[in-house]
A and B are shown apart, each in its own frame.
Chain A
Amino acid sequence: MTSELNASGRRLGPLSKIPVGEGRTFIVDGVELAVFRTRNGDLFAVQSRCPHRGGLLADGLLGDGKIVCPLHGYTFELTSGQSLGQQPCESITTYSLEVTEEGDLLIDLQRASCAG
């Protein structure tokens, strides 16, 4: 599994950098990312800033596969990046992420996807 990512991936350091159920903002090659670790062990990486007014998503509340922006409560689906609600704002970019055998986070900036 890891092999595919190893080529283009960037290491973010040990998984333990992120407290359980929370997120952290990373800067990799000048790109800001929010990385989340859920209570049941899922990992997600998305663009760091909320498209609404730039709130730092890593500081938001996480749960049920969603992140709630700490500034005004816009909510995004972490797998698809889609904004929830009937009058949604733009979607956020999502990235592929995995954990290496040594327990390091590995992100692939090339494999970004935009729900459009």
Chain B
Amino acid sequence: MTRKNRLVVVGNGMAGARFVADLIDRGGADKYDIVMYGDEPYGNYNRILLSNVLAKTQDPKDIFINPLQWYAEQEVTLHAGTRVVAIDRRARRVLADNGSEQRYDTLVLATGSTPFVPPFAGLAGEDGQYKKGLFVFRTLDDCEGITEFAKTSRKAAVIGGGLLGLEAARGIQELGVEEVHVIHLTSHLMEMQLDATGGGLLKDSLEGMGFRIHLEKSTREIMGNGRVTGLRFSDGTMLDSDLVVIAVGIRPNIDLAQRAGLSTVRGILVGDDLQTVDDPRIYALGECVEHRGNTYGLVAPLWDQARVLAERLTGLRPDAVYTGSRVATKLKVMGVDLSVMGNPVKQEGDEEISYVEQSRGVYKKVLIRDGRVAGAILLGETSRSAHLLQLFDRGQDAPESRSDLLFPAASDGSQSLESLPDDHQICNCNGVSKGQLVGAVEKGCRSLKSLCDATRAGTGCGSCRSQVEGILELATDGDTEEDPSIHYYVPGVPLSKPDLVAAIRKRGLRSVSAVFAELAGGRDDPKSKMGLASLLKTIWGSEYVDQRDARFINDRVHANVQHDGTYSVVPGISGGVTSPDQLRKIADVADKYAVPMVKITGGQRIDLLGVRREQLPGVWRDLGMRSGHAYAKSVRTVKTCVGSEFCRFGLGYSTQLGVEMEERFKGLESPGKLKMGVAGCPRNCSEALVKDVGVVAVEGGRWEVYVGGAGGSHVRKADLLTVADSHEGVLRLSGRFIQYYRENANYLERTYSFVPRIGIERIRKIVVEDADGIGEELDAALQASVDDYSDPWLEATAPAHPAQFASTFSS
């Protein structure tokens, strides 16, 4: 075995520890011996939750993300309570304050930042230490110091009316201090995040809660002998107070890097590869870095950085880059709801939508730039924040009706979530009540994914997920976390779809087990198998190595499993057009096999229900029809109406076009089901406007092509993609759309989510106008899949293995 590289990480805070955890998740322990240094004498805790600890809504022991034992289990050597004082770059070693030294092959700096303390007079007592009663607010120890001191304190002052200062103030009030003052330098609170209107309303709300807010006040001196007694301001006024917290900003910890000769400005300079600009063996991430001129003071950017660096250093994606983050903030201490996205300062050409309700302290403002949400403030009423955050994060098109941004649509009911009784059923598939969801949040679920996993809510048809998200927001007071796995294509492989596709191509992974072995550290997560199988088939076509155990039971036997373990058989009837011969055959088969139920489906074909597994090959052979693929994540049906052939209103041969479409696209695997419809006139009798692809004949021999419609658990009217002037045009454009969807949608993402996510404008540019120049590629890839079609029911005579259609029970 080759010697492992030694990776040394300085800083065991949120960025350093997250990076190491991400690295280990990606198999990094095979490649590196990991040594960490942390100045604080603990494992890694969630710094964000210190506000809760201060406000006593959370116990210090509940905020640990990685307790000391985690490091031992992961074989990470942690020097807790040890500070690194120098880096010797030539000898590649770090020196610690306890005199020890450590060599490195790769060094990662994650030293975070320290509270900025302006040079006020009277900071220190005679002993040179901060006066008693004077604190900053950054660490668990600070938190404990403040808590202890507050017990005997009557009047407290917080210098700084930004996010952190206000949270400190709220915490101190919660600790029972009678009078809490906030001293702020500028003309409104939280000027980094809020505009004047928002800042003003926030001040009103806080004053309503008993805080004394002093604006445009500049502190000059901390008074008292050895112990704080008050503040003196530059306008000559004074304020008595026996507890003072300074929270005026942070400064990245760069001195260690500076002394080692690494370039710094405000932070340690790094490139998109997170490497320091001076030394290819040294990387940095977190609050201590400066990237493209930005330093960050929130955690979301650190998560992105940690992931990118872990991917690079494990070699999973050696070319991964970090290109910057869009930031959103939530003031999460109970009492005031505030959520801010991006920079909500209006720029030339921005469209501003706002709503003010003075009496309730409600203020909502959204800035729209190029049709997308560029920034937002929600104060006092944040029920739309999850929705807005999604639009903001993903850069999706804002809805045409701008009021939908600020207020929930009347029908989605989320406005009243708060008033719903606890026993109100939210998930109608799994019978999960509001009370159960709130209970799970109280037990620690903070992300939508963990809440759904824990309660099963939203895991059925999925239509309640936005309500579940709303309850999560309510129950956590907006302090939600994002589970990184929601960005993964499948839960068991930590890569987004584009990255996963690239890794699969690059390493030539042709089977599901090969993907697990190479990209998931050998863990064959069963819930990831189907998604991977579908993706690999789309990538490799006939070169795909098909492992049957990666398929869901329906796809193993090409029929839908029923609750009693029998199956349903739905033969393909293209366009819903059948014949007496076909019907006779179906009737004969139903008789011969004593099929318990024969049913006309909602997709214009016939379902034989209650067939036993060992009967399937016989049933198919006797039918002599192709599979209808009613069991697969693939093209299902093309519903048609009679159209020109017979209908007196018909404007186009809808049955003929429907049959052509189904014959061409039949059985194409896709991330989600694809259902289509063709209508002979705008009366739309085949419901084409609620299909994934819908086609409607209009006067003049033309066809409107719609995409992204749905009529199941989600109802969505499809968007008009284009108007085609021939059957051939419809086939070509809808085929191109289907291929684009196949290549870019997430697993199980139906077109009703995919189309709004990408935006119909963008899809039109790609599919119709070929703006990206990939049109021919898409057409060719689709054609290859079409040529590759083989009817799975042919396995009736050539089973994949002897047990494939064996009776369910064996003895």
Chain A residues engaging chain B, CB cutoff 8 angstroms: 12-13, 17-22, 24-28, 32, 39, 53-56, 59-64, 66-68, 70-73, 75, 85-87
Contacts and interface: CB of A to CB of B under 8 A. Distances in A.
Contact of B811 (A18, A27, A55): A27
Nearest to B443: A86
Contacts of B553: 59-60, 70
14 contacts: A21-B548, A22-B556, A32-B809, A59-B553, A61-B527, A61-B549, A63-B524, A63-B526, A64-B492, A64-B524, A64-B525, A66-B526, A72-B460, A87-B456
B809 A61 contact: no
Nearest to B439: A87
A64 B526 contact: yes
Contact of A87 (B455, B801, B811): B455
Contact of A85 (B454, B526, B801): B454
B485 interface: no
A87 B455 CA distance: 6
Contact of B803 (A24, A53, A72): A24
B796 interface: no
B410 to A, nearest CB: 32
A85 B456 contact: yes
Interface string B433-476: 00010001001010000000111100110000000000000000
B98 interface: no
Contacts of A68: 526-527
B530 A61 contact: yes
A86 B524 contact: no
B809 to A, nearest CB: 5
B22 to A, nearest CB: 20
Contacts of A22: 548-549, 556, 803
A39 B516 CA distance: 12
Contacts of B548: 19, 21-22
A12 B529 CA distance: 28
B448 to A, nearest CB: 14
B561 A59 contact: yes
Interface in B512-563: 513, 516, 523-527, 529-530, 547-550, 552-553, 556, 561, 563
Interface in B455-504: 455-456, 459-460, 492
B546 to A, nearest CB: 12
Nearest to B548: A19
A39 B811 contact: no
Given A19-B548, A56-B565, A27 B524 contact: no
B803 A17 contact: yes
A32 B809 CA distance: 8
Contact of A70 (B453, B456, B492, B561): B561
B411 interface: no
A72 B456 CA distance: 10
A96 to B, nearest CB: 19
Contacts of A18: 803
Counting from the closest, the 5 A-B pairs by CB-CB distance are: A21-B549, A63-B526, A86-B454, A63-B524, A61-B526
Interface string B209-242: 0000000000000000000000000000000000
Given A61-B527, A87-B456, 19 more contacts: A20-B549, A21-B547, A24-B803, A24-B806, A25-B808, A26-B809, A39-B524, A54-B563, A56-B808, A59-B565, A59-B808, A61-B526, A62-B549, A64-B524, A66-B526, A72-B430, A72-B460, A73-B527, A87-B436
Interface string B794-811: 000000010110101111
A25 B23 CA distance: 40
Contacts of B563: 53-55, 71
A15 B106 CA distance: 49
Contacts of A73: 459, 527
A59 B516 CA distance: 21
A52 to B, nearest CB: 10
Given A20-B549, A59-B561, A25 B810 contact: yes
Contacts of A87: 436, 440, 454-456
B444 to A, nearest CB: 9
Contacts, number: 95
A113 B142 CA distance: 51
Interface in B753-811: 801, 803-804, 806, 808-811
Contacts of B527: 61, 68, 73, 75
Nearest to B455: A87
B803 A70 contact: no
Contacts of B547: 21
Contacts of B459: 73
A7 B537 CA distance: 48
Nearest to A86: B454
Contacts of A24: 803, 806, 810
A39 B810 contact: no
Contact of B549 (A12, A19, A26, A54): A19
Nearest to A22: B549
Given A19-B548, A22-B548, A62-B549, A86 B526 contact: no
Contacts of B456: 85, 87
B453 A85 contact: yes
Contact of A19 (B516, B530, B801): B801
Contacts of B525: 63-64
A19 to B, nearest CB: 5
A19 B811 contact: no
B236 to A, nearest CB: 59
A55 B454 CA distance: 20
A19 B556 CA distance: 12
A75 to B, nearest CB: 8
A28 B372 CA distance: 63
Contacts of B523: 64
A39 B549 contact: yes
A63 to B, nearest CB: 4
Contacts of A55: 563
Given A61-B530, A66-B526, A68-B526, A86 B810 contact: no
A102 to B, nearest CB: 18
A82 to B, nearest CB: 15
Contacts of B811: 26-28
B513 A39 contact: yes
Interface in B548-602: 548-550, 552-553, 556, 561, 563, 565
B513 to A, nearest CB: 6
A85 B443 CA distance: 13
Nearest to A26: B810
Contact of A25 (B443, B453, B809): B809
Interface string B610-640: 0000000000000000000000000000000
B552 A61 contact: yes
A67 B525 CA distance: 10
A32 B526 CA distance: 23
Nearest to B613: A59
Nearest to B806: A24
A106 to B, nearest CB: 15
A50 B523 CA distance: 24
Nearest to A37: B549
B611 to A, nearest CB: 15
A27 B809 contact: yes
B549 A86 contact: no
A88 to B, nearest CB: 10
Given A22-B548, A59-B561, A66-B526, A17 B455 contact: no
A1 B275 CA distance: 56
Nearest to A20: B549
A56 B565 CA distance: 7
B810 A61 contact: no
A25 B525 CA distance: 22
B407 to A, nearest CB: 33
A77 to B, nearest CB: 12
